[in-house]
A = this chain, B = another copy of it.
Amino acid sequence: MTDFSSRHAREQLDHEMIMIEVNLDDCSSEVLGFTMDQLLSAGANDVYYTSIYMKKNRPAYKLSVLTTPLRQPELEEIIFKETTSFGLRFFPVSCHRLGREFYIAKTAWGEVSVKIGIYQGKKIKFSPEFEDCRALAERHNLPLQTIYDEAKNMAISHYK
C-alpha cells in the first residue's frame, strides 16, 4: 500500500515556482520518454509534453517542467545533456495547492489509500491512489475501475 506518512499538508499558495519550457524538433520519442523519467527522478514537481507545429512541416514537442528555483539548475543540466535542445526558456508561476489528508479504505480486496482534497477547510475531493488500485486489480484479476469505485465510495460515506 502507498506510504502516506507525513503526507498531511495544509492548503497553500506558493509564488516562487518556475516553469521551464523547451521546443524539441530533432529528438526521438524514446529519448523524450527517458528524459521525463530522469527529470521526475531528479525532483521535478511536474513534467509533461505538448505536441506543437514548427516551421518546415515539422511536428515537434514542447517539454514543460515545473520546479522550485532550488532544483532549476540540476533540471536544466538534464535537459541540455539528454535532449537535442540548444536553448530553453523559463518564467515564474504561482501555485495554489489544496490541503491534503489520507483515508485508508478497507475494501473487500485489500486496503486502498484515498487522497482527500481540502479547500478552505472543507473536504471536497476523494481520490483513490492509482498504484493501490492497480496492485489489487492485478492480484484479484478485477477491472481497475471496480476497485477504484469501491474505495472512493467508502471514503465519501465515511465523511458524509
Contacts and interface: CB of A to CB of B under 8 A. Distances in A.
Interface in A45-61: 46-61
Interface residues of A, number: 74
Q: Which 5 A-B pairs have the closest CB atoms?
A: A26-B28, A33-B57, A29-B58, A51-B51, A25-B29
Interface in A95-129: 95-98, 100, 115, 117, 119, 124-125, 127
B89 A91 contact: no
Given A32-B58, A52-B48, A96 B100 contact: no
Contact of A53 (B46, B50, B88): B50
Interface of A: 17, 19, 21, 23-34, 36-37, 40, 46-62, 64, 66, 76-77, 80-82, 84-98, 100, 115, 117, 119, 124-125, 127, 130, 134, 137, 143-145, 149, 152-153, 156
Nearest to A98: B86
Contacts of A144: 31, 34, 82
A14 to B, nearest CB: 9
